[in-house]
Chain A
């Protein structure tokens, strides 16, 4: 009993750290892009102020039970993803609830939040929400294919479904990272990661800078602050998952911050360089080259690494 209580307290502490880190990471990237454009950019504390302001709205309009549950499902997906990924290797405080098969559960939670959002956005009755949700789910199904193939490749390679053991196998120097032992799987997964972060060229379903903003169109007040918090947690969880699977994990907080920032900057740099795809173009893209790279990575593992 005490063991579980300790683990829950440690998890809540990790959750707080990852939330703050996710918000600050998003804000740092926004400030960096602003500096590239010659502006000063938003202040450091702006994401926190936005969340508090939305909580402090005095009115809210609900469209039904499912509308209320949409953000709840989303944040359940975000917290669930984080709960089963060990944030730091070999650390009691940041170990979370990792167990033997947690890689499968983490992939499930990545998809789960978006489904809940789809139900909630559909309940809101706004036509732009429905369009955005259809586009978003279509694109998500497409990028899950190379992502799953890359996961299968590294599961075969390391012969385990436990993220902790995958991180353990990558210790001992930079040459042991999956990036260098199985570059094809890393390539497929990083291309899928571009779809996950919803930066250009794959951001049509939230369509920033345009009038319809997709699924969150009708969400406001406390619902929006819940979703903004989830965005920080979910981004942090996905970055830590990718860091653990492909880039050797982290044994200290500084190392984790540097590695996740670098992975996120990859998506941001691609986003700043490319225009937007239509949804059918992005679905076709994901089902072509990244899928071929994913299949090739499984063949690569079978032929070169297991013989």
Chain B
């Protein structure tokens, strides 16, 4: 994959003050390459699909469906799906419903701190077209403009069985190697950043949260 972003130079970090700018990295992220041997990449994709660690960050109403998902009746643990409290260790980010602008700022920071191949699942109809809050001053209507999404699960709210079906779809996508939201984000970083800065007016954080 071409690292065409490197030619555009380091990040501006214009939202930070002069003293703070020295404390944060201004290097652009680089998209990762798959393993050179195809069978190794296929095996590691299978492992990634069977060991999905969810970031325990309930961004909206969808968080209420995650608790039944983990407990006895629907039991997502048997699919290798477990919640982790820190974005450093998580590989799946579940956007649970609407994304208000305030939450979007935190979603961006958490998403950028996640490592390696990472996947985003959007719950509900709100990230697709705004849903119930389509005319609100406070929420975003199309989530895909701000963070790359790998899977949408519509509903308001989708039941845990639907969530499980969606997780199976995501696993299939990962095993086929088509879930590349991480690389898509890095390759189109300027476009995503422009969209994010258009809605988030008080951008007092670094341009990329390493």
Contacts and interface: CB of A to CB of B under 8 A. Distances in A.
Given A49-B51, A220-B88, A40 B75 contact: yes
B44 A56 contact: yes
Interface string A31-68: 00010011111110010011011001111110000000
Contact of B47 (A43, A52, A218): A52
A60 B32 CA distance: 11
B115 interface: yes
A197 B121 CA distance: 35
A56 B72 contact: no
A49 B85 CA distance: 19
A181 interface: no
Interface stretch (A13-21, A166-174, A208-216, A260-268): A208-216
B71 A39 contact: yes
A56 B80 contact: no
A212 B85 contact: yes
Which of A59, A61, A210, A218: most chain B CB closer than 10 A? A59
B47 A53 contact: yes
B78 interface: yes
Interface size class of B (residues with CB under 8 A): 20 to 34
A254 B186 CA distance: 52
Contacts of A58: 32, 115-117
Which of B77, B85, B88, B115: most chain A CB closer than 10 A? B88
B56 A218 contact: no
Name B's interface SS. Answer: loop
A303 to B, nearest CB: 51
Contacts of A34: 75, 77
A229 interface: no
B206 to A, nearest CB: 13
Contacts of B88: 61, 217-220
B78 A224 contact: no
Interface string B67-84: 000011001011010100
A46 B80 contact: yes
Contacts of A224: 89
Interface in B16-68: 29, 32, 44, 47-48, 50-51, 56
Name A's interface SS. Answer: loop
B103 interface: no
A221 interface: yes
Interface string A228-245: 000000000000000000
Interface string B160-177: 000000000000000000
Interface in B101-123: 115-117
A220 B117 CA distance: 13
B210 A61 contact: yes
Contacts of A221: 115-116
B78 A40 contact: yes
A26 to B, nearest CB: 13
A41 B76 CA distance: 9
Which of B56, B71, B72, B89: most chain A CB closer than 10 A? B89
Which of A46, A61, A220: most chain B CB closer than 10 A? A220
A102 to B, nearest CB: 36
Interface of B: 29, 32, 44, 47-48, 50-51, 56, 71-72, 75, 77-78, 80, 82, 85-86, 88-89, 91, 115-117, 210
List the 10 closest pairs (A to B, CB-CB), nearest first.
A57-B116, A58-B32, A220-B88, A38-B72, A53-B51, A56-B44, A49-B51, A58-B116, A39-B75, A40-B78
Given A59-B29, A60-B115, 5 more contacts: A38-B72, A49-B47, A59-B116, A211-B85, A219-B88
